[in-house]
């Protein structure tokens, strides 16, 4: 006989897909290992130091804020993602303590002060970077050529700078951009490795094609129309990193696929406009932050039409 026993009563459904927030975050961390590896290869130990400090600070900052507010801290990996991505946007020569300040700002102010994961309006990593750019404009715009593990850094313009000069032919410029043998922030080196990491996320279903394709597509198209070198615009700077790893942040981008396309196109246009007409050589960070701010509005107006409702819904 089956024993006398009372059973659980729990709400349905009683089956979940084998996926959790932390699993998603750690898969993003895994995909980030491609640009992270490139950063270490091109910029040596200091790159490692910056990324380690930034990540550790991000985790500690989240822990600290959660404890202060008597919240519950779970190691869901989202702080690691934020810390790493922010580090990848920094110049290779930045002092480590600046990275710490940026990461602390990203987690404590840009994320936790808004209510924690899921409630922040701005991508925390980019907010951290923007904060650093405002505080330390000098250090934040010093660029060097990859020096690998040697200590002599050669200051140079990034490919997007007006003062950037290239003596060899175009093909070898594209090749260097793909492989990463150019100046720029830690994560802006190899477009190819970023692409591999991004494709990994696409294949695993962590992100979908909407934002990367619309972002990169819009940026390429607009630079072409403006008479720019479209391929250079796409491969150089933080565009690839931004399109695959930053603009795709779930929390700060629209929730519908149509909305995501609007978001990507907007970010692409803004990036190119800032690059060509703004006072800054790089526009990815501010373009995405601006679109983050528009996201609630996009979500308000772009919604799926519910099954069975009139095609032209009144309001």
Of 67 and 305, CB closest to another protein: 305
Of 24 and 31, CB closest to another protein: 24
Sign of CA dihedral 144, 142, 272, 261: positive
Name the residue among 131, 233, 242 with its Cα closest to residue 185: 242
DSSP secondary structure letter of residue 3: P
The minimum distance between CB 255 and another protein, in angstroms, equals 5
Name the residue among 33, 24, 23, 34 with its Cα closest to residue 55: 33
Q: What count of Cα atoms within 13 Å lies in the side-chain half-sphere of residue 10?
A: 6
Is the CB of residue 240 less than 8 Å from the CB of residue 260? no
Read off the tokens for 58.
Answer: 């991000």
56 backbone dihedrals φ, ψ, rounded to 5°: -60, -45
The minimum distance between CB 40 and another protein, in angstroms, equals 29
- In the complex, the residues that contact another protein under the rule CB under 8 A are 1-2, 5-17, 19-21, 23-24, 74, 76, 116-119, 250-251, 253, 255-257, 303-309
Residues in the chain: 315
Query: Which residues share a beta bridge with 155?
Result: 144
Of 89 and 253, CB closest to another protein: 253
The minimum distance between CB 315 and another protein, in angstroms, equals 9
Of 94 and 298, CB closest to another protein: 298
Of 163 and 315, CB closest to another protein: 315
The minimum distance between CB 119 and another protein, in angstroms, equals 7
The minimum distance between CB 253 and another protein, in angstroms, equals 8
């Amino acid at each position: 006989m089956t024993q006398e026993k009372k059973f659980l009563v729990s709400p349905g459904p009683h089956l979940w897909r084998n996926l959790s927030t932390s699993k998603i975050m750690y898969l993003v961390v895994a995909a980030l290992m491609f640009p992270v590896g490139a950063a270490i290869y091109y910029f040596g130990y200091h790159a490692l130091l910056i990324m380690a400090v930034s990540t550790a600070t991000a985790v500690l900052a989240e822990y600290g804020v959660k404890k202060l507010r008597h919240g519950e801290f779970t190691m869901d990996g989202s702080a690691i993602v934020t810390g790493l991505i922010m580090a990848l946007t920094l110049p290779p020569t930045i002092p480590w303590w600046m990275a710490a300040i940026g990461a602390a700002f990203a987690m404590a102010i840009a994320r936790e002060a808004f209510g924690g994961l899921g409630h922040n309006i701005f991508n925390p990593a980019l907010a951290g970077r923007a904060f650093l750019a405002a505080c330390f404009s000098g250090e934040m715009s010093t660029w060097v050529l990859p020096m690998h593990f040697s200590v002599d850094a050669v200051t140079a313009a990034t490919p997007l700078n007006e003062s950037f000069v290239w003596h060899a032919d175009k093909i070898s410029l594209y090749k260097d951009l793909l492989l990463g043998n150019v100046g720029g922030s830690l994560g802006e080196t190899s477009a190819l490795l970023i692409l591999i990491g991004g494709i990994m996320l696409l294949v695993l279903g962590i992100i979908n094609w909407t934002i990367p394709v619309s972002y990169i597509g819009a940026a390429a198209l607009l630079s072409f129309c403006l008479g720019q070198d479209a391929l250079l615009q796409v491969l150089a700077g933080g565009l690839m990193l931004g399109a695959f790893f930053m603009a795709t942040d779930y929390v700060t981008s629209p929730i519908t696929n149509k909305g995501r396309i609007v978001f990507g196109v907007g970010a692409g246009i803004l990036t190119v406009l800032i690059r060509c007409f703004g006072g800054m050589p790089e526009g990815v960070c501010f373009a995405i932050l601006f679109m983050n701010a528009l996201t609630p509005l996009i979500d308000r107006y772009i919604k799926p039409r519910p099954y069975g409702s009139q095609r032209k819904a009144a309001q």
